[in-house]
Structure 1
Amino acid sequence: MKSIKYIFITLVLLSSGCADDWLELEPVGQKLESNFYQTEEDIYKGLIAAYSMLQPKYWENYGSYYFLANFPSDDSEVVGGGPGDRPEYHAVAEFTMLPTNSAILEMWRRDYYGVYRTNVVIANANPNASQASREYIAEAKFLRAYYYSELVKFFGAVPLITSTLTPDEYNQERKSPAQVYAQIVKDLQDAIPNLAENPVEDYRVTKGAAQALLGKTYLYMASPYYYNNYNFELSQAEYYQLAADQFNEVIISAQYDLEPNYDNIWKLSHEHGIESIFEIEYSDINRGGDWGNGRVNGGNIDVQLCGPRGIATDTLNAGWGFDMVTQDLIGEYNAEGDNIRKEGTAYGEAFLTLIGAEDWDENEGYTGWFSKKRAPWAHIVGDVDAQWNYETNERIIRYADVLLMMAEAIVGGATAPQSADYYLNLVRDRVELDPISGVTMDDIKKERRLELAMEGHRFFDLVRWGDAATVLGDRGFVQGKHEVFPIPQEEIVNSNYALTQNPNY
């Protein structure tokens, strides 16, 4: 590196006596943003770059959306190797996170990198050029909406950037959550007409994914905490109805259904399966965890982090013991007699027998139950050697989630072709549970927890329902503070203090 630096300095000194016109030559063979987007293929390459930011950047401070969404919930315990192992995770789980938390900073940056890349595609693609160009713009708008849906959930008011910026525009102030949600809605409404139902490549966004995310956005806007605090324009009843209308579009499309075997949903062999509406693609380029090239490997280290620590069997690989399932969640499964989803969500008794443990100490965080939905399955790599990253995709929106959100919208007052009982009981029937008659909001809250446990939904469900302080108070949650995360201090400084901090941080 030093030799390269010296060569560069020498070249600069030698060139100082050359004619001025030498300095004005165009770079040869160099692709810059200003001259890159010339063809439809160039736009497609830019779109792939926007997709790439969906893969959480755990390679740099482990800023994974999945973990930061899961750890604050009552479904999950961090554990790992103890409090000194990834302390930024423990802080999130204990609600002691500070504005200097490195994982939160990395997640913020990942989402804004994604926003930037989508803005570049939208700015450079010509919607009149071809149907392909219109699809690329639609996909970019979906992705921008998705990135902002993450940002507004975690941070509330955030900078709202919908164009490429000049340097004097970099220091952006935060916009209200209502403004951010309005942009999410607009982007998704713009995207839906030009998205394919069945794109050629599995990883690309579908019309159903945009409709499901739009419905979820409306449902969040109708939810008690957000509706009462964010000053939205329409009535709560109108948002519930808008949500139900979008969910109905997904349902009547006949593109999706419930996977008959709950345990199959997260297996490699069932990626882009009948239940999957939107999932994040990962690669098998490097299964061995080349840390120096994490960005190009495209592997999913969530899988390794969630596996039972240091244990390898014939059916799963060793992991690092993060994201253990709480005994409280297991108790919910037991009380409901929900053995199918319990066994599809957690490793428990069999694993304890394997290591010779008969009980566990909650005070130490070792609950005895390990997350199975992202466990390192041996059949992925064909042996039981511990590996660091896998190609297992992240399932982000499932059909079961849409059915439960439809039931919730109906209980909130929306009208739909069927009753809330009908949609909720489709989900229960899959796991051989008795149907419920006269579904209430409490039924929906319980069903969402049992169906979607350890998938990053629970914490935000508790917040939007206004239940977080009651359910998570013993874990350290403070009402009026922890509904959102702190704005990263480094970003506040970088903005020349145009950004302000969330209350009480």
Structure 2
Amino acid sequence: MKIIKQLSRLYIPVLALIGLGSCTDDFLEQPAMGALSEDVIANKDGVEKLLIGAYAALDGAGFGGNAWEAAPDNWVYGTVAGGEASKGSFGGDQPAIDQIVKFISNPSNGYYNSKWKALYEGVKRTNNTLKLLSIATDISPEVSKDMTAQARFLRGHYYFELKKMFNMVPWVDENTEDPKQPNDVDIWPNIEADFKFAFENLPAIQGDFARANKWAAASYLGKTYLYQKKFPEAKAIFTDVINLGVNPSGVKYALLDRFSDNFDAAEENNSETVFDIQMVANDGTGTITNANQGGMLNFPYNSPFRCCGFLQPSQDLVNSFKTDPVSGLPDLASYNQNSVKSDMGITSSNPFTPYTGTLDPRLDWTVGRRDVPFHDWGKHPGANWVREQTYGGPYAPKKNIYWQSTQDIYADQSSWAPGTALNVRVIRFADVLLMAAEAEAQAGSFDVALGYINNIRQRAANPNGFLNQYLDDDDPLAGFNETAFAANYIISDYTMADFGSKESALERIYFERKLELAMEGHRFFDLVRWGIAEQTLNAYFDFQGDITTDVRGGKFISGKSEYYPIPQAQIDLSVGGNGKPTLKQNPGY
């Protein structure tokens, strides 16, 4: 299942010697240490190695800076900046993140340059693949078409990430001679063209699950339409994905019975997988480069996981999972009134009674909270696993945590912080249903949108999906007690009365994305494309700032904060022979 990830570690050293040009980054300033001529690698084996290298760049690791600065799950830029989580740890640890999430950073913040370089490294590798494909003579037309479509899918992904991060970025492709291109042209049409080509030319079934297939390309094309507000086009292609789409193994897309199985390495590459970045633990390298290195900070502090106390879910996020005890629906307007009780300020040695109100069960697969089972590690002890409650709050992330019973297989302890074999979910089928619901609501098809949302809520309400109270607290591996739950869970379907207008339907769809995809890196980018980032995030700063110190002073500024600044290092590197940079900074920086 993870052949590409395993092979990538063999091919990266070879790729480093291939002199096929670069993109707008500091690789331009490095002298060539050696090169393989095009005629040596312009063959099927050489192109395949280049393509695997293009996949290998998906994890964002190893291209300068710390891996977490370019983590592919966007935990800094999408989750923490989106108000779903505090940075965590304490104020003196990685302070550059605090500047990012409070929207007070400047273009010299090194995190932006790390992300830029990692993504353009992916672009460079896809372009090299396409360039060699065009001159290789021993590749059949059918294989060439598949390889080309895979490379263009990957290039579409890398540029999609660049576009949603920085907005105006330079387009460099396999035919570009001078990589110092200006960023004065909107690249959405180019991204759309790459995904459309991939959709029309990729097979539905691939020999390796890691490879993109036809329906992953279709889903990404639909997402590209959605970001451009091309709702009719998005609606049409999402309908095809839902009705006809299969994963690379040929299994029809469907929601898993258990919500939690999406976050268990033992259950991944399944019917809900549209496109994952494949991770593997204990690969023999003695490193965690292929094992979610970008998320190595995001485990409870002073715990069995050793390090480091980052990515602590916010009280705002936790409160979002409250439900009405009668209707079983969330409180969209005033969910932050009467907060879910936490152990803020209570030591682990003092007694604590968890919140007894009604909750959406997805909360306890998303957030680790005091006296609720933390997978099979026993109950979360509270303050003993938190570095500084007053700074980051009392909670811990959970979707990224490996299970005790399978840690020998799926955890990697080769570094000072853990690695895991848990894939990064770029698009999963629940995300497709939510995006489809959004497109349907924009088109006025409220009944169809309602059906998609209720499918997701029904999965969340399935008792087999949230049994997490153990038979024996002293032996967390003993099994589940099928008559007891960790909290008072109530969740119900919406009705057509709730979806009676575009405004009410979209409000509920937007909130459902917050609940279903929480802590998965989407939130900030969703708020921006919906046009509600300013009011939502400034309200978040006001509320959360009364609880934790980390976000005090944060302010989203409309017209500026929607996009991150073009890294100053890249502007400096883009200076041409006339002494002027070709890259232009984003407004407000």
User: Secondary structure at the residue paired with 1:323?
Assistant: strand
Q: Deviations over 1:356-388 (max 9, x none)?
A: 649999983332221111124334433997753
Matched, 1:344 2:374: no
Taking only aligned residues, the RMSD between alpha carbons, in angstroms, comes to 2.6
User: Secondary structure at the residue paired with 2:232?
Assistant: helix
Alignment of 1:453-492 (within 5 A): 453-473=518-538, 474=541, 475-492=554-571
Q: 2:459 aligns with which of 430, 445, 448?
A: 430
Between the aligned partners of 1:354 and 1:360, the Cα distance in structure 2 is 10
Between the aligned partners of 1:194 and 1:52, the Cα distance in structure 2 is 22
Are the counterparts in 2 of residues 125 and 137 from structure 1 also a CA contact under 8 Å? yes
User: In percent, how many aligned pairs have the same letter?
Assistant: 30
Cα displacement (A) at 1:252: 1.2
Per the alignment, residue 102 of structure 1 pairs with 110
Matched, 1:304 2:296: yes
Between the aligned partners of 2:168 and 2:449, the Cα distance in structure 1 is 33
Per the alignment, residue 75 of structure 1 pairs with 84
Per the alignment, residue 175 of structure 1 pairs with 184
Q: Deviations over 1:12-47 (max 9, x none)?
A: xxxxxxxxxxxxxxxxxx861523433212111110
Structure 1, unmatched stretches of 5+, are: 1-29, 223-238
Between the aligned partners of 2:389 and 2:559, the Cα distance in structure 1 is 27
Per the alignment, residue 319 of structure 2 pairs with 331
Are the counterparts in 2 of residues 303 and 376 from structure 1 also a CA contact under 8 Å? no
Stretch of structure 1 that moved more, 251-260 or 396-405:
251-260
Between the aligned partners of 1:319 and 1:77, the Cα distance in structure 2 is 16
Matched, 1:318 2:339: no
Cα displacement (A) at 1:443: 0.5
User: Secondary structure at the residue paired with 1:431?
Assistant: helix
Alignment of 1:139-218 (within 5 A): 139-166=150-177, 169-176=178-185, 179-218=186-225
Cα displacement (A) at 1:269: 0.8
Between the aligned partners of 2:106 and 2:403, the Cα distance in structure 1 is 35
Per the alignment, residue 228 of structure 1 pairs with none
Q: Deviations over 1:416-452 (max 9, x none)?
A: 9x61111111011101232212321111011010000
Cα displacement (A) at 1:299: 2.1
User: Secondary structure at the residue paired with 1:306?
Assistant: coil
Between the aligned partners of 2:121 and 2:574, the Cα distance in structure 1 is 16
Between the aligned partners of 1:56 and 1:145, the Cα distance in structure 2 is 16
Cα displacement (A) at 1:324: 0.7
Q: Which has the higher helix share?
A: 1
Matched, 1:446 2:451: no
Between the aligned partners of 1:180 and 1:492, the Cα distance in structure 2 is 18
TM-score (norm 2): 0.71
Between the aligned partners of 1:32 and 1:89, the Cα distance in structure 2 is 40
User: Secondary structure at the residue paired with 1:157?
Assistant: coil
Q: 1:466 to 1:289 in 2, by over 3 A?
A: farther
Per the alignment, residue 374 of structure 1 pairs with 400
Matched, 1:221 2:228: yes
Stretch of structure 1 that moved more, 181-190 or 344-353:
344-353
Structure 2, unmatched stretches of 5+, are: 1-33, 246-251, 324-329, 331-357, 462-490, 500-504, 542-553, 576-580
TM-score (norm 1): 0.82
Q: 1:54 aligns with which of 50, 53, 58?
A: 58
Between the aligned partners of 2:382 and 2:201, the Cα distance in structure 1 is 56
Cα displacement (A) at 1:72: 0.4
Q: 1:410 aligns with which of 437, 440, 445?
A: 440
Cα displacement (A) at 1:191: 1.2
